[in-house]
C-alpha cells in the first residue's frame, strides 16, 4: 500500500499499517458510495481522474443461482443489478423474496435432488423492484439507499489472487478461489490491497467500494464435493481478518475477505483488462 492509503486509514481512525488482528477496511465514510439511479449516473458531471494501474482481471465468474456453482466467462456486461453474459445473469436466490417462478419441472428437480421439503426456484426480472439497503442494513442509517437483486450487498464482489495466496500460507489444506465466490479476480497486486481501492475503472466500467465481504460458514463447503467442513478456512480467517471495533455493528464477528463494489458507470469488462484505481 502507498502513503495515500495509509493517510486514508489514518483519517478513519485506523492504523496506518495493516495489523494481523484488526482491519480498517470499511469505515463509516465508505458507506456513502450508494449506487444512485441509472439516470444520475449517465448525466452526472464527470471529474477528470488520474488512473493508476493496480492489477489485471484474471478471472470473471457469474453465479446464475445463488450459493451454487459459478460460470466462468471471458467477458461480461456490468448492469445495475449485477453481471450478465448473454442470457446468463448473476445470482438467482432461494429465500422469501420477489421473483419469477421458474416452473414445476425445475422445482421438482431441486426437491428430488435435495430430498427435503419442496422448493421453488425464482428468477429476478428486470421489471421487479430490488432489495434496498435500508432492509439489508436497517441499523446503519448512514447508508444511502439503493437497490440490489439477490446478491448480499452489492452487484460486484472482487478478490485478489494475492489475498488467497496469503490465506493458503496459513492453512494446512489449501483452498481454491471458488470457496469464496467472487465475480472478479485480480492478479498483479499485493495481498489485501483491494481493501484500499475506493474507485476503480475496469474496461469501461466504473466502480466504487461499498463494504468488505463478511464471510460465513458457506466458505467451508468444498465446491468440488459439496462437503461442509464448518471450520476451515473460516476459523483461520477469524484469526487475522476481523474488522476494526468501530465497524463491528456491520460485521459482528465475521471475518472479512473480498470487497463489495457498486457499479457507477455501466459497461463491459473482460479477462485481461487492466484494473485502474481512479485518484484525484
Note whether residue 190 is domain-resident. yes
Ranked by mean pLDDT, the top range of 17-21, 161-165, 244-248 is: 161-165
Contact between residue 250 and residue 138 where contact means Cβ atoms under 8 Å apart? no
Contact between residue 171 and residue 232 where contact means Cβ atoms under 8 Å apart? yes
> 31-35, 37-41, 154-158 — which is least confidently predicted?
31-35
Note whether residue 119 is domain-resident. no
What is the per-residue pLDDT across 169-207, written as a single tens digit (0 to 9) for each? 999 999 999 999 999 999 999 999 999 999 999 999 999
Domain range for 230? 14-87+130-279
Residue 51: give its domain's CATH number. Answer: 2.40.33.20
Ranked by mean pLDDT, the top range of 16-20, 133-137, 159-163 is: 159-163
What pLDDT, on the 0 to 100 scale, is given for residue 107? 83
What pLDDT, on the 0 to 100 scale, is given for residue 36? 41
| Comparison of pLDDT for 229 and 46, the residue scoring more | 229
Note whether residue 123 is domain-resident. no
What is the per-residue pLDDT across 48-91, written as a single tens digit (0 to 9) for each? 789 999 999 999 999 887 778 889 999 999 987 778 888 776 65
Residue 144 above 90 pLDDT?
Answer: no
Label residue 102 by pLDDT band (50, 70, 90). Answer: confident
- Could you give the C-alpha distances from 276 to 13, 98, 175, 207, 252, in angstroms and in order? 26, 36, 28, 10, 31
**Stretch 7-32: mean pLDDT, rounded?**
38
Note whether residue 122 is domain-resident. no
Rounded CA separation 218/67 (Å)? 8
| Comparison of pLDDT for 128 and 11, the residue scoring more | 128
What pLDDT, on the 0 to 100 scale, is given for residue 35? 36
Work out the mean pLDDT of the chain and round it to a whole number: 78
Rounded CA separation 91/84 (Å)? 10
What is the per-residue pLDDT across 110-119, written as a single tens digit (0 to 9) for each? 888 878 778 7
Note whether residue 4 is domain-resident. no
Tally of domains within the chain: 1
What is the per-residue pLDDT across 222-259, written as a single tens digit (0 to 9) for each? 999 989 999 999 999 999 999 999 989 889 999 999 99
pTM for the predicted model, two decimal places: 0.72
Please give the full DSSP string across the chain, using - where no structure is assigned: --HHHHHHHHHTTS-SS--SSEE-S--GGGGG-----HHHHHHSPPPP-EEEEEEEEEEEEE-SBTTS--EEESEEEEETTEEEETTEES-BB-SS---EE--HHHHHHHHHHHTSS----EE--TTS--EEHHHHSTT-TTSPP-EESSSSSSSEEEEEHHHHHHHHTT-SS---GGGT--SEEEESS-TTGGGG--EEEETTEEEEEEEEEE--GGGGB-TTT--B-SSTTHHHHHHH-EEPGGGHHHHTT--EEEEEEEEEE-EEEETT-EEEEEE-
Note whether residue 42 is domain-resident. yes
Note whether residue 199 is domain-resident. yes
Note whether residue 47 is domain-resident. yes
Amino acid at each position: 500500500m502507498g502513503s495515500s492509503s495509509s493517510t486514508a486509514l489514518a483519517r478513519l481512525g485506523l492504523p496506518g499499517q495493516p495489523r494481523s488482528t484488526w482491519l480498517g477496511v470499511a469505515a463509516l465514510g465508505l458507506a456513502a458510495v450508494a449506487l444512485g439511479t441509472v439516470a444520475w449516473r449517465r448525466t452526472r458531471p464527470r471529474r477528470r481522474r488520474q488512473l493508476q494501474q493496480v492489477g489485471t482481471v484474471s478471472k470473471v465468474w457469474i453465479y446464475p443461482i445463488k450459493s451454487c456453482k459459478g460460470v466462468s466467462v471471458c467477458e461480461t456486461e456490468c448492469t445495475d443489478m449485477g453481471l450478465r453474459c448473454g442470457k446468463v445473469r448473476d445470482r438467482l436466490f432461494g429465500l422469501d423474496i420477489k421473483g419469477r417462478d421458474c416452473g414445476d419441472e425445475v422445482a421438482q428437480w431441486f426437491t428430488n435432488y435435495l430430498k427435503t421439503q419442496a422448493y421453488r426456484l425464482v428468477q429476478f426480472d428486470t421489471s421487479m423492484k430490488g432489495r434496498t439497503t435500508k432492509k439489508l442494513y436497517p441499523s446503519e442509517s448512514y447508508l444511502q439507499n439503493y437497490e440490489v437483486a439477490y446478491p448480499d450487498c452489492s452487484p460486484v464482489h472482487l478478490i485478489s489472487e494475492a489475498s488467497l495466496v496469503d490465506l493458503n500460507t496459513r492453512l494446512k489444506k489449501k483452498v481454491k478461489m471458488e470457496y469464496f465466490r467472487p465475480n472478479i479476480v485480480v492478479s498483479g497486486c499485493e495481498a489485501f490491497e483491494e481493501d484500499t481501492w475506493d474507485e476503480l475503472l475496469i474496461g469501461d466500467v466504473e466502480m466504487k467500494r461499498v463494504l468488505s465481504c463478511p464471510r460465513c460458514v458457506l466458505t467451508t463447503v468444498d465446491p468440488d464435493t459439496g462437503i461442509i467442513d464448518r471450520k476451515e478456512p473460516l476459523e483461520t480467517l477469524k484469526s487475522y481478518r476481523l474488522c476494526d471495533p468501530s465497524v463491528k455493528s456491520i460485521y459482528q464477528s465475521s471475518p472479512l475477505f473480498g470487497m463489495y463494489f457498486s457499479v457507477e458507470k455501466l459497461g463491459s469488462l473482460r479477462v485481461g483488462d487492466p484494473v485502474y484505481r481512479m485518484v484525484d
